[in-house]
Amino acid sequence: MPNLGTVLKEEIARLARKEIRTQVGKTQKQVAEQRREIAELKRVNTELNRRLNFLEKREKQRLEQPVEPKVIIQKSDGTTEPETTARFSPKWLAKHREKLDLSAADYAKLVGCSPLSIYKWEKGESTPRVAQREALAAIRGIGKREALRRIELIS
């Protein structure tokens, strides 16, 4: 005849195993569902990174392309010079650079010239050539975040 203590101990162990199985089953289902979600998020992340890299390359190529002048003027000496409709003001340049909170070196990267040119343009000692005026016109409406993003792409 079995001992009452061992029978009771076996019954408690059986019930405990049964209860553990029900609890663990729920947890296993949740873990499997979360693993599926993680795998899907990894796929989406990979796709978005691929698209971002593609767009960054395209934007960098676009920024590296020279700006084409719109109108060509015939000079009296027989040479032609492209004319730009972009106006230039030293005060505007200084204010725009200050608004973007950029150094002359960083601003020069955006325009495609040297930092010394930026200083001279701001002081009114010289004026930008037509191609540089077009580049200045191209960055006229950008904000600080866009400027920093473009500088990062150029660098």
Inter-residue long-range contacts of 35-40, CB under 8 Å, 24+ positions, other chains counted = none
**Residues 96, 140 contacting (CB under 8 angstroms):** yes
Name residues whose C-beta falls within 8 Å of residue 113's C-beta, 6 or more positions apart in sequence.
Answer: 128, 132, 135
Beta strand segments in the chain, E: 71-74, 80-83
Name residues whose C-beta falls within 8 Å of residue 150's C-beta, 6 or more positions apart in sequence.
Answer: 59, 63, 110, 139, 142
72 strand-pairing partners:
82
Q: What is the pLDDT of residue 53?
A: 94
Q: What is the pLDDT of residue 45?
A: 97
Q: What is the pLDDT of residue 96?
A: 92
Q: What is the pLDDT of residue 81?
A: 58
The CATH-assigned architecture of domain 87-154 is: Orthogonal Bundle (1.10)
On whether the pTM is more than 0.85, the answer is: no
Q: What is the pLDDT of residue 100?
A: 92
Q: Which two tokens stand for residue 36?
A: 């599926």
**Measured between alpha carbons, how far is 126 from 133 in angstroms, rounded to an integer?**
12
What is residue 71's three-state secondary structure?
Answer: strand
Name residues whose C-beta falls within 8 Å of residue 130's C-beta, 6 or more positions apart in sequence.
Answer: 69, 81, 82, 83, 84
Query: Domain coordinates of the chain in residue numbers?
Result: 1-65, 87-154
**Measured between alpha carbons, how far is 61 from 153 in angstroms, rounded to an integer?**
10
Q: What is the pLDDT of residue 75?
A: 56
10-residue mean pLDDT profile of the chain (155 residues): values are 83 91 87 96 97 92 70 58 69 92 92 92 89 87 88 84
